[in-house]
Structure 1
Amino acid sequence: MQDYIAGRVRAQRVEVFERVADGLRIPGKMFNLAPRPWEAGGVSRSDVTSPSQPENGEAPVLRREFVKLGAGLAAGTFGSSVAGRPSAVSGSRIGLSALAELRANSTRLRSLDDHLGGAETYRLYVAEVQRTAALLKAKSFSGEIRRELLQLFAEQAQQAGWAAFDAGWHEKAARLYDTSYAAARDARNEELAGNALAHQAYQLVSTGKRGVDATNASVAIARATADPAVKSLLYQRAAWTHALAGDARRTGELLGFAENALTLPFAADQGPGWAAWAHTPTELQIMAGRCWTELHKPLRAVPVLENAMTSYADSHARDKALYLSWLSEAYIDAGEVEQAAAVANRALDLSAGIASPRPAQRLDAVIDRFAPYRAAAEVEDLLARRPINPGKVGL
């Protein structure tokens, strides 16, 4: 397996994809395969690691290495057939079958963000953007296919922008979000344009800048759309922007709008994939807990974050490490320093080896808050494990 991970050997046959998928119980759709025999119970990618069986020790690292292998396999077969399966993206004209293939490949690669950092996925996502841009320039298609292709291009640019943001490459992220917004508007997809604005606002506030204007524009789109998942996602991200601006009233209002969206009739296979992931009670709890932590309201933050983390798989190591950092901070605000240190240590365990600077940056800021309590044994151990903050050493 290490030869595949290191790129010294490439998988050329479906059997290889099947063996590695079965080896660590990764659903077949992540490799464009039919569902594996053990998936009969309806296993989804979020269920690969059961919350009732938390990953400890080497298991999270092993799974991340396996998913890196998956990324390498995806890159090796990108734009070509897999095991002799012909590609529909050929010839001079793009039709429905070619569009379906492009979307399936993009969806498969997008799922890698659940397990890998942006520094590992950015190259794959940018390749998708570049490929679709080339098709838009070189191929012929009907007006409706062009619109669908533009929407796909906008989604891919958002995903690549997110990977750049996650890797700390903010200029690249900003350019990709701008590109995505223009493409979404060209495709007359206001919801997708709203998500580009939400991404822009998220990046702005994460780098200490004002993001309220972009957020307010995305909220107007959230109000206008009939799609519950889009409403939920845009309202959640808007709540985050206002929480960082210190506006507790508006934050609570927007979280309420997102909660109301969860009560609306919704079929997961009908909403856009870029929004459906956030349309769950767990994701809303996570966002609410983060917001209330930033607003220093631990009595609201701790219960929802604790509840969400019990069902959040360790295989989503980057995100779980980040979310635990907010839970640790909320415990500090509540005066529960020992519990805060235990949670921070768990976040450090999960963040090891992740190709994203964000967990280290977040945990560095949280650990600063333990300084007044360094006499406690738990805190002394935590301070000794302090990660290197890439932002402080110019990485």
Structure 2
Amino acid sequence: MQITPSRVKEYIDGKVQAQSTAVVERIADGLRIPGEMFGLAPRPWETVPVWGPVSPPDLLLSRTSEESCDYLSAIRSFRSADRQFGGSHLYAAVIRYLSDEVAPRLFGVDARPAPSGLYVTAASLTEMAGWMAHDSGRDDLAAVHFHRALPFARAAADPSVEAHVYASMAHLSREQGRHNEAVQLARTGIEIARRGEWYPALYGRLYLMEARGLAGLCDSRARKALVHAEECIKPHDVHPWISPYDRAFYSGEAALCLDGLGDLSSARRYAEEAVELRREGRARSLALGQLALARIHTRSRELDRAVAVGCGLLDGSQTLGSVRVLRQLDELGEMLQAHNRLHSVRAFLDKLAETTRTRKMLLGGMIVKTGEAVP
């Protein structure tokens, strides 16, 4: 019997019951899920990996098959486009790539031998789909994708990939106000990362997620986590599948963390640094940094500065398809409404209303709809 990707999804979702142990074994082997999770004996491929010293990037890539390099190239292309144009534009494309290029190799529909990086690819793309769903305003779908990325990450036999998914889950929990959960997920990710090689970019992200969760709890230990995260800023990324981590990313997250702790002066300095470092390149990161800075100015009652930053954001992000940015624009507008007696604020609010109305109409056809299927 042929087990198609859609059929496997029905088994996993519990819509169809497997009629034999052989079917369950094929699913476990296809997804590289340990046998004990299905009540089976350990599968033949279950071995304990041995981790050595960190390898330089060119050596890591030289061990990767040509087909895996194609997957890596696709992921990098999706990642680059996502940063520039937003997840709403790209979610469907990533889902199609997963369904058409990756799933047939995972589940044996495609007869060619599976490349060595297939499970890392599945984990990374599924995690990326989660981020794009999050950027499209569908946190429920994002959570589904992140949880589905975990079995693939474990199958990849690389703790760094699994820990990276935990960083994403921690971010989503914190965004939804579940700060304790975010802290726990980040700390779990750190423990998992310690089983593998040392990648500063990964630890930096995890420490930042821990700091953001602690800040949401008004816990001063967030500052110590920020120090650890800053120590992880290194000039080079050595893991081809882990998202880059740089000073701009750190500064943007540190600004949000310190804002949450009520340290507006320090938050403003970090937000200004993040915006300056993102002037060239990543449009969404720049927009999110500008939004953070405008909110900090508003809370500090520096209204002219808030309006100036907001106008720069509206003028410079016309092509960005990010529901997350749109929602934060709405939040900024609500904050400024309390000061609409000022002419500059009223003018900005009028411009904001017109801009967001237009962008919502343009994004309407791309936003992931409620009830949309997830492969």
Asked whether the two chains share a fold, i.e. TM above 0.5, the reply is: yes
Q: Which residue, out of 132, 138, 152, partners 1:169? A: 138
Q: Which residue, out of 231, 237, 242, partners 2:209? A: 237
In the alignment, what sits opposite 2:232? 261
How big is the shift at 1:347? Answer: 2.0
How big is the shift at 1:150? Answer: 0.5
Q: Does 1:297 align with 2:263?
A: yes
SS in 1 for 2:227: helix
Where in structure 2 are there 5+ consecutive unaligned residues? Answer: 1-63, 370-375
Q: Distance in 1 between matches of 2:175 and 2:167?
A: 12
Q: Distance in 2 between matches of 1:361 and 1:296?
A: 22
Q: Distance in 2 between matches of 1:226 and 1:327?
A: 33
In the alignment, what sits opposite 1:3? none
How big is the shift at 1:313? Answer: 2.7
Q: Does 1:133 align with 2:103?
A: yes
The one-letter code of the counterpart of 1:215 is A
How big is the shift at 1:135? Answer: 1.0
Q: Does 1:118 align with 2:87?
A: yes
> Residues 336 and 370 (structure 1 numbering): CA distance in 2 closer, same or farther, change over 3 Å?
same
Q: Which residue, out of 96, 99, 103, partners 2:68? A: 99
Q: Does 1:189 align with 2:189?
A: no
How big is the shift at 1:239? Answer: 1.9
Q: Distance in 1 between matches of 2:91 and 2:198?
A: 32
Contact 1:109 1:125 in 2 (8 A): yes
Where in structure 1 are there 5+ consecutive unaligned residues? Answer: 1-94
Q: Distance in 1 between matches of 2:317 and 2:175?
A: 19
The one-letter code of the counterpart of 1:152 is T
Q: Which residue, out of 266, 274, 283, partners 2:242? A: 274
How big is the shift at 1:180? Answer: 0.8
In the alignment, what sits opposite 1:308? 274
Q: Distance in 2 between matches of 1:108 and 1:353?
A: 18
In the alignment, what sits opposite 1:14? none
The one-letter code of the counterpart of 2:156 is A
Q: Which residue, out of 191, 204, 223, partners 1:252? A: 223
Q: Distance in 1 between matches of 2:168 and 2:236?
A: 24
Q: Does 1:220 align with 2:188?
A: no
> Residues 260 and 254 (structure 1 numbering): CA distance in 2 closer, same or farther, change over 3 Å?
same
The one-letter code of the counterpart of 1:368 is E
Q: Select the structure with the greater relative contact order (CA < 8 A; seq sep ≥ 6).
A: 2
Contact 2:251 2:271 in 1 (8 A): yes
In the alignment, what sits opposite 2:51? none
Q: Does 1:109 align with 2:69?
A: no
The one-letter code of the counterpart of 1:134 is P
State the identity %: 22
Contact 2:278 2:285 in 1 (8 A): no
The number of residues matched between the two structures is 290
How high is the TM-score relative to the length of structure 1? 0.67
In the alignment, what sits opposite 1:317? 283
Q: Distance in 1 between matches of 2:320 and 2:306?
A: 22
SS in 1 for 2:352: coil
Q: Distance in 2 between matches of 1:313 and 1:344?
A: 15
SS in 2 for 1:370: helix
Q: Distance in 2 between matches of 1:222 and 1:257?
A: 15
> Residues 222 and 298 (structure 1 numbering): CA distance in 2 closer, same or farther, change over 3 Å?
farther
Q: Does 1:151 align with 2:120?
A: yes
